[in-house]
Amino acid sequence: MYSEKVMDHFMNPRNVGEIENADGVGQVGNAKCGDIMKMYLKIENNVIIDAKFKTFGCGAAVATSSMATELIIGKTVDEALQITNKAVADALDGLPPAKMHCSNLAEEAINSAIEDYKRRKGLIDDNASCDACSRRCDDVQHSHGIE
């Protein structure tokens, strides 16, 4: 049911892990629905120089996370924001219809990590956020997931 590319990215996922001192971290999905994606970005001069992920989910969720990190590394923040769920799915030679929501999750994870980056940079005003605060928020989010 999965393309060879999906199976390849599932069995040999690229860029799994965490980035210490990441410039942006985003987590989307929830454990109740069976998938969570967490994306870490390292950004220099507005260019994504590294991306890593952790995912709880099915084969398609892991493969789309892996592909999404490959697609955004080397792109500017604005270019990365242009990447759609369809682009992620197409890059994997398609997903079964029932699994298309996994590619939405990848798009959302990219957006969420970039939003976090912008918030930290003060590019979007949020409740006077500081790095320490948003990190703590991340931790809170974790425990939500495993309630």
Partner 1 sequence: MTERMIYLDHAATTPVKKEVLEAMLPYFTEKFGNASSIYTIGRESKKALEEARDKVAAAIGAQSKEIFFTASGTEADNWAIKGVAYSNRTKGNHIITTAIEHHAVLHACQYLESEGFEVTYLPVDKNGLVSAEQVAAAIKPETILITIMFANNEIGTIQPIAEIGKVAREKGVYFHTDAVQAVGNIPIDVSDMNIDLLSLSSHKFYGPKGVGALYIRKGVKITSFLHGGAQERGRRASTENVAGIVGLGKAIEIACGNLEDKNRKLIAMRERTIEEIMKKIPFVKLNGHRTQRLPGNVNFSFEFIEGESLLLMLDMKGIAASSGSACTSGSLDPSHVLLAIGLPHEIAHGSLRLTFGEENTDEDIDYLMEVLPMIVQRLREMSPLYEAVAKNNT
Q: Which residues bind partner 1 (CB under 8 A)?
A: 7, 10-11, 13, 16, 18, 27, 31-38, 54-62, 98-99, 139, 142-143, 145-147
Q: Which of 33, 58, 133, 137 is catalytic?
A: 33
- 81 burial (CB, 10 Å; 0-12 / 13-18 / 19+) is middle
Angle ∠(88,90,93) on CA atoms, nearest 5: 120
Q: CB of 46: closest distance to partner 1 in angstroms? A: 26
Closer residue to partner 1 (CB): 33 or 130: 33
33 is catalytic: yes
Closer residue to partner 1 (CB): 136 or 142: 142
- Name the residue among 60, 75, 6, 71 with its Cα closest to residue 29: 60
Residue that the structure tokens 């999404």 belong to: 68
Active site residues: 33, 102
